[in-house]
A and B are shown apart, each in its own frame.
Chain A
Amino acid sequence: MKLEIGNFHVKDVCFGTETSFSNGTLIIDKQAAIDYIKEDEHITTCDIQIAKPGESIRIVPVKEAIEPRCRVNADHPLFPGVTGEVHPVGEGRTHALKGCSVLAVGEHWGSFGDGLIDMSGEGAKYSLFSSLINICLVADTDEEFERHEQQKKNRALRWGAHRLAEYLGNAVKELQPDDIEEYELGAITKRSAEVNALPSVVYVLQGQSQMEEDGYNDLVYGWDMNNYLPTLMHPNEIIDGAVISGSFMPCSSKWSTYDFQNNPTIKELYKEHGKSINFLGVIMSNLNVSLEQKERSAVYVAQIAKSLGADGAVLAEEGYGNPDADFIACFVALEDAGVKTVGVTNECTGRDGQSQPLVALDEKANAIVSCGNVSQLIRLPAMERVIGELEALSRDGLSGGWSGDEILGSSVKEDGSIIMENNAMFCGDQVSGWSPKTMTEF
């Protein structure tokens, strides 16, 4: 399978009369884009705002991030099963607007899995998205049933952002990219003797799927991953739109759709493929609520890895808390199957740093890359401008915000400064592979 991603490096984004891209500038016809978004009548109010790295801007509540892209050789949807019908992806040519992302931002209302991004200052280091030009879809919807719920599906907003990303991506459909990345990985049984002689490696992703009701979990080709068994996937499918992010899980642990589209671990494994390893592919697994489901998924992952003859695995979990039990179960199952495994996760050591780092532990989990502490307290000064609504952080049950605390008070102070847990930093722990953070003893 061979995928070409044609990159267009976006240096600036501004509004203009026609949506187009030239000389590094993405111009957006704002009204036309809003009209397009509003084709979904569940969107009641809608605006597009731009936030650039270095600006004094705080964005909250952020629900989703997507890299704007389009398919070049086919008329297929960017996200099969989500923005259109199901088609295979991971092959052919996709064009991408690099250096920017489309964010779904609540005009007012936040939910448990939403996050915060600071575009400058001390807070910028907590999220990758402070380094991108963010095209913020700020909207409200008619989803009355969940307006005051802590858990929200955020369907209209998330789908709106997916559609906007595709809409903007289409601006470069006919253009020549600045550069082209090639991702080619042949069939496992048809590789050369030299490649076969290298240690073979799988990448295991445990995507978030803990909500039993439809509408909250990660989707693969539009399918809710709660009702799902681990499957072998081609890495190109993951980076080419087969998986979208869900609307659950404390935000710093979450993987946005942008994270799937650009998964740095897949890129790193590609880089080593044929040199130091034989990259077999991705085993796409999930995270569950009952012990039996956790164990069943671990059995499947280990079986697939073993049947493929994997020597090693990188295992990453999109969550913390009881998902740690899935992570450790899978780690142990892989090790027991003879697959040498490295895990990637974040930790929850508490505000005092003294709690057990994962709720389940096992001595077989002897190689872990750690990306952060979800419960670290963070104090940040006010920003000049807020995109969205700052009160959402304290009012709406975001995982890292609170309305009242006996000692700390509300997360949002009158002067616009905030105190929060890392938990609500938008995709902050970057377990999919960016994280420059680690954990250590103090």
Chain B
Amino acid sequence: MVKEVEKAGFPVVILCNLIPVARSVGANKIVPTISIPYPLGDPATSKEEQYKLRRHRVEVALDALTEDIKEQTVFKVKI
């Protein structure tokens, strides 16, 4: 899906857990998430921690939208 969106000219970042799958399908900008059922917030942690993690990863993805990359890139996250 992400490929069709990019083909149409939209800058797009995919946030997902299975990076190799995103790589295989040809996504260009990839930001890792923490799991399949809860990509952006581990229910075993507090609401505050979940929000912090989600805010961080979404921010990395937003900044990735502005990056002028030349090849497929997996962006690094800190939390």
Is B65's beta carbon under 8 Å from chain A?
A: no
Binary interface encoding of chain B residues 26-52 relative to chain A, with 1 for a CB under 8 A from any of its CBs, else 0: 000000100110000000000000000
Is B20's beta carbon under 8 Å from chain A?
A: yes
Q: Are B18 and A322 in contact (CB under 8 A)?
A: yes
Q: Are B35 and A325 in contact (CB under 8 A)?
A: no
- Which residues 1-45 in B have Cβ within 8 Å of A in the complex? 17-21, 23-25, 32, 35-36
A-B CB pair tally, cutoff 8 Å: 28
Q: Are A360 and B17 in contact (CB under 8 A)?
A: no
Is A22's beta carbon under 8 Å from chain B?
A: no
Q: Identify which of B18, B19, B20, B24 gathers the most chain A CB atoms within 10 Å of its CB.
A: B20
CA distance A359 to B25 in the complex (A): 8
> From residue B20, how far is it (CB to closest CB) to chain A in Å?
4
A290 / chain B contacts, CB cutoff of 8 Å: 17, 35
Is A329's beta carbon under 8 Å from chain B?
A: yes
Chain B interface residues (CB < 8 Å from chain A): 17-21, 23-25, 32, 35-36
CA distance A361 to B25 in the complex (A): 9
Is A356's beta carbon under 8 Å from chain B?
A: yes
Q: Are B17 and A325 in contact (CB under 8 A)?
A: no
A362 / chain B contacts, CB cutoff of 8 Å: 20, 24
Q: Are A291 and B18 in contact (CB under 8 A)?
A: yes
A291 / chain B contacts, CB cutoff of 8 Å: 17-20, 32
19 inter-chain pairs at a CB distance below 8 angstroms, sorted by A residue, are A289-B36, A291-B19, A291-B20, A291-B32, A322-B21, A325-B18, A325-B20, A325-B21, A328-B20, A356-B24, A356-B25, A359-B18, A359-B21, A359-B24, A360-B20, A360-B21, A360-B23, A362-B20, A362-B24
Smallest Cβ-Cβ distance to A325: which chain B residue:
B20
- Which residues 323-340 in A have Cβ within 8 Å of B in the complex? 325, 328-329
CA distance A360 to B17 in the complex (A): 13
> From residue B66, how far is it (CB to closest CB) to chain A in Å?
26
CA distance A322 to B25 in the complex (A): 14
Smallest Cβ-Cβ distance to B33: which chain A residue:
A291
> From residue B76, how far is it (CB to closest CB) to chain A in Å?
15
CA distance A359 to B24 in the complex (A): 7
B25 / chain A contacts, CB cutoff of 8 Å: 356
> From residue B19, how far is it (CB to closest CB) to chain A in Å?
6
CA distance A440 to B62 in the complex (A): 42
B24 / chain A contacts, CB cutoff of 8 Å: 356, 359-362
- Which residues 279-316 in A have Cβ within 8 Å of B in the complex? 289-291
CA distance A289 to B37 in the complex (A): 11
Which 7 A-B residue pairings sit nearest by Cβ, starting from the closest? A360-B20, A361-B24, A325-B20, A360-B24, A359-B21, A360-B21, A325-B18
Smallest Cβ-Cβ distance to A328: which chain B residue:
B20
> From residue B1, how far is it (CB to closest CB) to chain A in Å?
13
Smallest Cβ-Cβ distance to A329: which chain B residue:
B20
